[in-house]
Chain A
Amino acid sequence: MRDESTDSGALLQGTLEMLILKALMRGPQHGYAVAEWIHQTSQQLLRVEEGALYPALHRLELRGLLKAEWGASENNRRAKFYQLTAEGKKRLSTETQRWARLSAAVAFVMQAS
């Protein structure tokens, strides 16, 4: 993926997918809400480009980690809502552990004097 980099550094594809899975932990959401949630929760540090968000959502759906349904949004328009499948939940937990190990390891290295 050679996306245009965001103003807050490009997110690696795998990382973005992990964040999306995390965003959907709390229940079904449409794409805009997912992006918004990530943006807010990261203290406005991460902004997910639409150009990366939707392909990632579709990829996850294709792999069966998410399933999508059309429903009515808060402003009463038809929107596509994504939610985690059992497979997706499993993937989220492994990714979470992996991320924790990785970031800790990277932190150790970076803090070495």
Chain B
Amino acid sequence: MSSGMHELIGRLRSLVQRRRRDREMAEELEFHQEMLRSRYLREGMSADAAKTAAKKRFGDQRRWHERLREVWQFRWLEDLTRDARFSARLLMRSPGFTTIALLTLALGVGATTAVFSLINGLLLRPLPVPDAQQMTVLHIDEGGPQANYSFCTPFFRALENRHDAFANVFAFNNDVLQVRGKVGNENIPGVLVSGQYFTAMQVAPLLGRYLTPEDDKVGGSPEGLAVVISEPFWKRWFNGEPDVVGRKLVIANTPFTVVGVMPKRFTGADPTTQPEIYAPLSSDPILDAPRDHIHAGMHAWWLTVMARLAPGMTLQQANAQLQAISEPILHAASDAASYIKDEEGRFRFGAEPGSNGFAYVRFLFRKPLVTMFAMCGGILLLACLNLTSLLMARGAARERELATRLALGATRRRLVRQLLMESLLLALAGTTFGLLAAPMVSHALAAMLLGGRRPGESVALDTSLDMRVFLFSALIAVTASVLIGLVPALRATGSELNEQIKEGQHTSRAPERRKLLPRALMTAQVALALVLVAGAGLLATSLARLYRSGLGFDPRGVVNIAFSMDKQQLEGDELIQLYRQIGDSLRTQPGVKDVSFESQVPLSHRGWNGSYSSPAGGEHLIWLNSVAPEYFRTMRIPLFKGRDFTWNDTKASGLKIILNESAAKQFFPNGEALGRQIVSVRQKTSFEVVAIVGDAKYKDVRSPAPAAAYVPIQQDQQPKLSLNAVLRVDGPWGPLVAASRSLASRLAPSIPAPVVYPIDELINNSLGTERMMAVLGIFFAACALLVTAIGLYGTLAYATSRRTAEIGIRMALGAQRSRVMTMVFRENAVVASIGCITGLAAAVMLSKLLASFLYETTPRDPLVFGGSIMLLAAIACAASFLPALRASRIEPIAAIRYE
């Protein structure tokens, strides 16, 4: 064995057997002293004298031990702990500096980690299934810019059994299922899955079996309709009873048999949903009644299709194969000749990596998340720059200490190590704080971002810290500490230190080069802060405009109550009667002023449109809504001409329609619309225009009000119409929840509990992304300003304190106090100006990236940019004022004597 190995093993062993080694050392040294004593005795000393002499010769026992221990231990480990202790003491001695450093770092790290864990949960984390890398997502490429990820049933069924490249092909569709509970039906999030879904997932059920292709048939397997439930649902609904397999669940008024329970960690193929019930695809006509996506064939593009690659298959091979079968499937599965003609030659199936499943919300959130990540990165970088400048300034203040130590024989490496240790300690502590805060922050952000996309539909995202997040933050911590520490450490221990000892504070001759770096750092910081502030300003301005912009109705005090009527018995006029009863009861509730009904909720991202034509205006696609009487009064939509609907506008009384201004202008560009007819292009039925109302926003807050029309609910073609009651309420809306529940259980016992929510909430949710970005942006901007102010103040204060003597001399030679003030002030003014100019250039370039998030706001809004610059200038002035004032108060005599 080489002596090096020997050494390592010996040291490691001594780490473990430390006590024993110490004891043996003591004994060995004791023996040596004993021998010395007996020799002195032999040489004729008295016992006492011998003892003293031996002691004297030996000196201090402790130092001995220390020296012997050094032989055995890892020298660097010792030094490291010593450095750490020393650094900690130093940091404790300047609590202000330490606190600021820790807070800024914790903020940067916490925010970055929080956003990263969101990104991780949404975009990076693989599905919790074996060999997730074999998973692929299928799409249809029609030669357009964006591939289509939605399939219709015929195409999917054709693919399902024609594949050699794939082990399994499966489809799913997230759905809300109505499950019969103790009182009426309850809405439970679920997913419809095709036969090979579970086979492809390869996750064993906790109890029972999973669904197979046998279950995915009309009417289910010979044993009847089957469902698989999730572990949480089993615990909640069946109290975790072990005999759950074989029990019945009544879904959509139809009995299903529970055949299996999936473990909690299995959340399906969409990482943003947590289905409680997995039902076979073929039962869609039952579950989604009165809708039927399967028999709608080419008209329902409702399925997400995924596939697991066969062992040994590559994505390229799979794609080649899909391409080969695309045309045949198009011809075989499609029943629409015109569609085939349209698609021929450009239609093909494709596969892309799907190891982390498929989530529609990814398309919505990828960009905002990445933008936020950049913002967080900005604040982290800012924190690092700030700390670097502050440490540098501190290093400057500690130059004499360091120089003294160098002169006493400390190596430069040693000093650099110690200074690095300081920044490492800071970085570690800061990162730890940040990490502790990160989960809370990411929860809050996830809630804001994904907050109820639609009432009754929740999006869940697992943002827990996993290995990837952890590694990420470790990387940040190390990078930050090196970023923070290395430059100041190298500078502080640089070659000019000897000069420093000789010169003390007379650094008037300090070469400009030495001043350049800290200034460049501060300039970068100011520029970065300006970018953040300007970005936040743009986002906030846009958000304010979104809220203020004309909705066309007054959302304050409007409450929606959604009734799901699709699974109960009543139809047609009877159902309308039921709605009238509900409306009458709601009107008697305390605080309710107006009540009406609508089928489409404005701003809910859902809509219904149709093509209509008039002789004068031609054919136009308009958005539609069916509403009850008094709708326009309830919503405060102005009725310009004509009359409101009444309950007498039945199917028998002739079809009526109300147009908004834009639609009226389209259909009747030159003349009176009232009393005229417009014709539905598809149904060839004609409608009489009975009123003109004001424009209101329809699908989305972000787009201007479109041309729209309203029809009476009595004349709506939909069977078993599910309507929303709209109420204008004075005071709190909370009591309405219980009231509408008892009302529903009294008048329509079988329907699920109505969902009550104020329209404001819907607007807030639909603006979740914008709100989150604006809130984060403003928060970060405020932090950036604070950090920059601290940085500017700190560096200038240090710089001035080192020039005390020089300034003293200037004053002694007759410099005016105001001159001195200006001189000091100028230092920061130059930094701030250059920083603002570079920041402005960067902000103008980067603001293009924000353009897609902005509403009625140009990415180069001069007000925002001007304001940001003013703000930063004000902050820079405030930060420079104190040091400058202090410099002007320097007493020449005291300053010079101070040396």
- Contact (Cβ within 8 A) B35 A54: no
CB within 8 A of A63: which of B3, B34, B38? B3
Contacting pair A55 B71 (CB below 8 A): yes
Determine if A64 and B3 form an interchain contact, defined as CB atoms under 8 angstroms apart.
Answer: yes
Cβ A50 vs Cβ B6 within 8 A: no
B31 within 8 A of A: yes
The reply to whether B7 and A62 form a contact with Cβ atoms under 8 Å apart is yes
Any chain B CB within 8 A of the CB of A30? yes
B224 at the interface (CB under 8 A from A): no
Chain A positions within 8 Å of B6 at CB level? 62-64
Asked whether any CB of chain B lies closer than 8 Å to the CB of A59, the reply is yes
How far, in Å, is B81 (CB) from chain A's closest CB? 21
B32 at the interface (CB under 8 A from A): yes
What is the CB-to-nearest-CB distance from B410 to chain A, in angstroms, rounded to a whole number? 14
- Of A54, A63, A87, which one neighbours B28 at CB under 8 angstroms? A54
Within the complex, the shortest CB–CB distance from B72 to chain A, in Å, comes to 7
**Interface members, chain B 479-502 (any A CB < 8 Å):** none
Q: Using a CB-CB cutoff of 8 Å, which residues 17-35 of chain A contact chain B?
A: 30-32
Please determine whether A32 and B64 come into contact, CB atoms closer than 8 angstroms.
no
Task: Select from chain B the residue with minimum beta-carbon distance to A54.
Answer: B68
Q: Does A51 contact B (CB under 8 A)?
A: yes
Contact call A55/B68, Cβ cutoff below 8 A: yes
Q: What CA separation (Å) do A83 and B657 show in the bound complex?
A: 110
B734: min CB distance to chain A, Å: 76
Closest residue to B5 on the A side, CB-wise? A64
Q: Is the CB of B68 within 8 A of A65?
A: no
Chain B contacts for A75, CB-based, 8 A: 34-35, 38
Bound-state Cα–Cα, A18 to B731, Å: 96
Give the size of the chain A interface in residues (CB under 8 angstroms).
Answer: 22
Contact A87 B31 (CB under 8 A): no
Number of A-B contacts (CB under 8 A): 63
Contact (A77, B31) CB under 8 Å given A62-B7, A62-B10, A64-B3? yes
Number of B residues, CB within 8 Å of A: 25
Complex contacts, A70 vs chain B, CB 8 Å: 24
Contacts of B7 in A (CB 8 A): 62-64
A79 an interface residue at 8 Å Cβ cutoff?
A: yes
Of all chain A residues, the one with the shortest Cβ separation from B28 is A80
Residue pair A78, B3 in contact (C-beta under 8 Å): no
Interface residues of B in 807-833 (CB under 8 A from A): none
Answer whether residue A73 sits at the interface, using C-beta atoms and an 8 A cutoff. Answer: yes
Tell me whether B360 is interfacial, beta carbon within 8 Å.
no
Enumerate chain A residues within 8 angstroms of B746, measured Cβ to Cβ. none
CB distance from B4 to the nearest CB of A (A): 8
Given known pairs A32-B31, A75-B38, the reply for A80 and B11 (CB within 8 Å) is no
B29 adjacent to A54 (CB under 8 Å): yes
Taking a contact as CB atoms under 8 Å apart, the answer to whether B1 and A79 are in contact is no
CA of A73 to CA of B3, assembled, Å:
29
Q: Does A101 contact B (CB under 8 A)?
A: no
The answer to whether A58 and B35 have CB atoms under 8 Å apart is: no
Q: Are B67 and A80 in contact (CB under 8 A)?
A: no
The residue among B32, B34, B36 with the most chain A CB atoms within 10 A of its own CB is B32
Residues of A within 8 A of B1 (CB): 64
Taken together as a complex, chains A and B put the C-alpha atoms of A38 and B308 apart, in Å, by 80
The verdict on B466 contacting chain A, using a C-beta distance below 8 Å, is: no
From 61 to 96 in chain A, residues with beta carbon under 8 angstroms from any chain B beta carbon are 61-65, 70, 73, 75, 77-80, 87
State in angstroms the CA–CA spacing of A73 and B27 once bound together: 13
Within the complex, the shortest CB–CB distance from B73 to chain A, in Å, comes to: 10
- Let me know if B31 and A55 touch, CB within 8 A: no
CA distance A58 to B65 in the complex (A): 12
Give A residues with C-beta under 8 Å from B: 30-32, 50-51, 54-55, 58-59, 61-65, 70, 73, 75, 77-80, 87
| Contacts A/B (CB < 8 Å), 25 sampled | A30-B31, A31-B28, A31-B32, A32-B31, A32-B32, A50-B32, A50-B57, A51-B64, A51-B67, A54-B32, A55-B67, A55-B71, A58-B71, A58-B72, A62-B6, A62-B7, A62-B11, A62-B71, A64-B10, A75-B34, A77-B31, A78-B31, A80-B28, A80-B31, A87-B3
8 closest A-B pairs by CB: A64-B6, A63-B3, A32-B35, A58-B71, A62-B10, A80-B28, A79-B31, A32-B32
